[in-house]
A and B are shown apart, each in its own frame.
Chain A
């Protein structure tokens, strides 16, 4: 029973390019959460999705960031026109129900050069 799978583990993008981060939740989990962690800082909530629906995107920057969780396939966090300040570790977590403990992936470390 594989855990939460995130890919790629490391991603380097030049300023202005697009970054696509993928997350496959644990089998049987229909709730997906994206968090961002800056060096020496805590985890900051970005967005919460269930299949085909965005439940809470209150932590998402208003521009350049979007997320989806289609009926088939992984959840995608998309960052358009990346800037240096987007460099961070992006973690995806999943749960069976909204109040369960989360299972986190190993994260994608985005570096914008």
Chain B
């Protein structure tokens, strides 16, 4: 996955529990994204960051919070998990070079909320 890792890979939560998903990249990329993917819905953007210390809302931000305290890490938090947050979560890291763009996704986190 060219330097994008996600932790954990799988998790089962009970309704109301909290957790943090960690995305880490070692490519010095400025942009990082959190998506969720549900059957028939495609990838939907939750939050994103264009640099250390910055975050912005995406299409489906409700119920999630994020932080980018260090350039290489982008954390996604669920304060009070709900069954509707059962999904596969993908993190992406994007950097722009002189010759083009580098885009890599992590392997995903499969979250089930019961």
Q: Do A and B form a real pair?
A: no
Binding site for A on B (CB under 8 A): none
Binding site for B on A (CB under 8 A): none
